[in-house]
Amino acid sequence: MSSVATTVLSLVLFATYIGIGALAHDSQFSLGWVLGSTLLVWAGPAQIILISTLGSGATAVQAAIAVAVSAIRLFPMVVSVLPLLKTPTTKRRHLVLVTHFIAVTLWVECYRLLPKVPRESRIAFTHGLGCGLVIVCLIATSLGYGLAARLPPLFAAAILLLTPLAFLLSTARNCRQISDVLALVLGLALYPLVSMLQTGVDILISGATAGTLAYGVHWWRERARA
Amino acid sequence: MSEFFGSPHALLILILAGFLPNEIWRMAGLWFGAGVDEGSEVLVWVRAVATAILAGVIAQILVQPPGALAGVPDWLRYGAVAAGVVMFMATRRSIFAGVACGEIALVAGKWWLG
């Protein structure tokens, strides 16, 4: 539990889920619904997108597309974390729960904490860390939901700003190559332009374009070096 | 209990529009991840696209803010994030310092506006 309690990211996560609880209350969702979304979806941006798109009257199909697009980032996260957890005898089904817990916070924490844990205990350790984080966030969701009516607008706005700030900075910190940095900067710059087209899949278009451009620069530099 | 969970229809939408489209990428990572080499070019590209998509999600929250954040003027939202980024750089990539600085800028600005 100490590793759950002491990190800055888990504080940010706690505050983010207070914000999600408050947003769900203001968008007329039930407490059970938003707790279910924390447990099952377990990804801050996807939940904010789900609540705000459904709350603004979009159809379930539009919401599903928006969520699916925002969740593509989970794929490379899972691919990069699983090799840290496996032993030669690990079966795929042993990794299903761990895979469900993987989101940006757990991904960062795995890189930081797992090297100190013996390989054969890493799955159990990650189960504990994941359960701890989920429970903390369920409490935060309920708190935010309960406080929403009494939350001053300034405080509510500050909490909603936490998600983009924390995601921006933790992504910037985890940039390993020039392609990652470029993808982040181009992705930020391109979205406002693409959103004027109002296609409904703006994030997918701006993300795929910016990401591919960033990869193109990486490829070109590698070739120039060779 | 029905008041706690709300309508079954809303819960069905949670599963179909929230849980499944999100979880499918995690399970795809579990299923196909074993065959992908961590340093491979495909993964560099997937990571670049995923990073750019997350950047798009961040930009969307800032450009089309949800809930109470919509009550904050555009320039103040962008200014607060810029202040956070500058502090992050100045403190050799401290996420905590950057987030704290951005939040203080937002609260101070809004308070000053009244």
Q: How many residues does chain B have?
A: 114
Place of tokens 């490379």: A76
Q: Which of helix, strand or coil describes residue A7?
A: coil
Per-window interface: B 93-112 vs A, CB < 8 A: 93, 95-96, 98-99, 102-103, 106-107, 110-111
Q: Which of helix, strand or coil describes residue B73?
A: coil
pLDDT for A5: 44
Place of tokens 């299903």: A96
pLDDT for A7: 66
Whether the CB-CB separation of A126 and A97 falls below 8 Å is answered with no
Instruction: Residue A98: name the closest of A112, A114, B70, A193 by CA.
Output: A114
ipTM: 0.84
A37 touches chain B (CB under 8 A): yes
Q: Tell me if B26 and A184 make a contact (CB, 8 A cut-off).
A: no
Residue A178: which H helix or E strand, with range?
Answer: helix A178-194
Per-window interface: A 129-188 vs B, CB < 8 A: 151, 153-154, 156-158, 160-173, 175, 177, 179-180, 182-188
User: B99 contacts in A (CB within 8 Å)?
Assistant: 8, 12, 162, 165-166, 169
Q: Tell me if B52 and A207 make a contact (CB, 8 A cut-off).
A: yes
pLDDT for A163: 81
Q: Tell me if A61 and B17 make a contact (CB, 8 A cut-off).
A: yes
pLDDT for B34: 72
Mutate to test the interface with A, among B30, B40, B51, B76 (most CBs of A within 10 A): B51
Helices (H), chain B: 2-5, 8-13, 20-32, 41-63, 74-90, 95-113
Distance to chain A for B27, nearest Cα, Å: 7
B19 — phi, psi (to 5°)?
-70, -55
B21 touches chain A (CB under 8 A): yes
Q: Tell me if A195 and B64 make a contact (CB, 8 A cut-off).
A: yes
Mutate to test the interface with A, among B7, B14, B24, B77 (most CBs of A within 10 A): B14
Mutate to test the interface with A, among B12, B95, B110 (most CBs of A within 10 A): B95
One pLDDT digit (tens) per residue for chain A, 226 residues: 445 545 677 787 888 898 889 889 888 899 999 999 999 999 988 898 899 889 878 889 988 988 998 888 888 889 888 888 888 888 888 999 999 999 978 887 887 888 899 999 999 999 999 999 999 999 999 999 998 878 788 888 888 888 889 889 888 887 878 888 999 999 999 999 998 887 777 888 898 999 999 999 999 998 888 7
Q: How far, in whole angstroms, is CA A77 from its chain's centroid?
A: 10
pLDDT for A1: 44
pLDDT for A115: 87
Helices (H), B64-73: none
Whether the CB-CB separation of A147 and A15 falls below 8 Å is answered with no
Q: Tell me if A214 and B52 make a contact (CB, 8 A cut-off).
A: yes
Place of tokens 């997937």: B46
One pLDDT digit (tens) per residue for chain B, 114 residues: 567 888 888 999 999 999 999 999 999 999 987 777 767 788 788 888 888 988 998 898 899 887 788 889 999 999 999 999 999 999 988 888 999 999 999 999 999 987
Per-window interface: A 203-222 vs B, CB < 8 A: 203-204, 206-212, 214-215, 218-219
B106 by Cβ neighbours in 10 Å (0-12 / 13-18 / 19+) ranks as buried
Angle between helices A74-85 and A104-113 (to 10 degrees): 30
